[in-house]
């Protein structure tokens, strides 16, 4: 049982497990931590249970610093919790331009639990990153936002209260995408599609089946799914609705991300 937030699955943890034994670890995925119960079957760890959680991050020799780039004079910072940083050329200029807004069409009543949306976006959206901004920022209205970056443009997820009420059950909240840059419209549509797909196929299903494979495992030996590569592991997510039966183009979608 690991009692700190881990950025990766150390090979020694898997090697010390007997066949069928369990590893409980708070694992970061795109910077979002979920405590996982993993069962060893051969060299592969299979997820048995997910729990929303928060733990202190790795420290000492295991500590890491996520790549981050300040933009707009430090008013916005983009960071990549998994993988290498993307090209941020043109983003300073984009943030000085107009903001494109697009509703996702998702309006929820009361309090919405969207913990699976965070991980879904982090593992399915190309160019995924996180944005941070001070409370007084006029460019990014979320202090910590799920985002995506491409073609000198960025888009991020936010929400607004569209109907307030004394009773929480009467409150309505609508999810929006804010985007900047020459490709703002395309990025906003892609992010909105991600939110709609999550709402239609994942929201009521919960967390997906997930397997953890040793780093370097060839693509052809991985199950179909969305692949998140870490230094010591290849994590494969099998989200509901992501790989419909009999659709060859989609059956390889996750593998293409590898």
In a domain, 3, yes or no: no
Q: What are the phi and psi torsion angles at 142 (to 5°)?
A: -105, 135
In terms of domains, do 145 and 171 share one? Answer: yes
In terms of domains, do 27 and 96 share one? Answer: no
In terms of domains, do 41 and 165 share one? Answer: no
Rounded to whole angstroms, the Cα distance separating 212 from 26 reads 14
In terms of domains, do 81 and 180 share one? Answer: yes
For residue 151, the enclosing domain spans 68-202
In terms of domains, do 119 and 145 share one? Answer: yes
Closest CA to 124 of 32, 211, 238: 238
Domain boundary residue among 202, 222, 240?
202
Residue 77 pairs with which residues in a beta bridge? 70, 132
In terms of domains, do 180 and 91 share one? Answer: yes
Q: Provide long-range contacts, Cβ within 8 A and 24+ apart, for 155-158.
A: 155/179, 155/180, 155/184, 155/187, 155/188, 155/190, 155/191, 156/131, 156/191, 157/121, 157/191, 157/195
pLDDT digits (tens, 9 = 90+) for 123-155: 999 999 999 999 888 889 888 999 999 999 999
Scan for tokens 């239609």, then name that residue: 200
Rounded to whole angstroms, the Cα distance separating 145 from 45 reads 30
Q: What is the pTM of this model?
A: 0.89
Q: What per-residue confidence (pLDDT) applies to 170?
A: 79
- What angle do the packed helices 115-124 and 184-197 form, to 10 degrees? 130
From first CA to last CA, the distance across the chain in angstroms is 29
Q: Which two tokens stand for residue 210?
A: 């997930």
pLDDT digits (tens, 9 = 90+) for 180-215: 999 999 999 999 999 999 999 999 899 999 999 999
- Report the domain count for the chain: 2
- The rounded percent of the chain whose pLDDT value lies above 70 is 93
In terms of domains, do 54 and 124 share one? Answer: no
In a domain, 2, yes or no: no
pLDDT digits (tens, 9 = 90+) for 47-104: 999 999 988 887 777 777 889 999 999 999 999 998 778 899 999 999 999 999 999 9
In a domain, 6, yes or no: no
Scan for tokens 């209260």, then name that residue: 161
In a domain, 91, yes or no: yes
């Amino acid at each position: 049982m690991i009692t700190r937030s881990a950025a990766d699955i150390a090979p020694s943890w898997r090697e010390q497990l007997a066949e069928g034994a369990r590893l409980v670890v708070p694992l970061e995925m795109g910077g979002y931590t979920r405590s996982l119960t993993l069962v060893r079957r051969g060299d592969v760890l299979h997820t048995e249970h997910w729990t929303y959680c928060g733990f202190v991050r790795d420290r000492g020799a295991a500590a890491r610093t996520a790549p981050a780039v300040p933009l707009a004079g430090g008013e916005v910072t983009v960071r990549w919790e998994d993988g290498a940083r993307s090209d941020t050329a043109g983003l300073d200029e984009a943030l000085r331009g107009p903001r494109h807004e697009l509703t996702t069409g998702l309006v929820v009543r009361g309090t919405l639990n969207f913990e699976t949306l965070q991980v879904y976006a982090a593992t399915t959206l190309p160019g995924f990153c996180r944005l941070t901004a001070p409370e007084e920022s006029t460019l990014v209205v979320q202090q910590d936002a799920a985002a995506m970056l491409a073609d000198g443009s960025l888009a991020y997820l936010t929400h607004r209260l569209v109907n307030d009420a004394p009773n929480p059950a009467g409150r309505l909240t609508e999810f929006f995408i804010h985007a900047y840059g020459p490709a703002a419209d395309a990025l906003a549509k892609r992010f909105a599609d991600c939110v709609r797909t999550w709402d239609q196929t994942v929201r009521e299903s919960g967390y997906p089946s997930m397997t953890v494979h040793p780093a370097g495992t060839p693509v052809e030996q991985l199950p179909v799914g969305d692949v998140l590569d870490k230094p010591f592991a290849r994590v494969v997510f099998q989200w509901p609705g992501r790989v419909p039966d009999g659709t060859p183009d989609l059956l390889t979608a996750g593998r293409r991300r590898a």
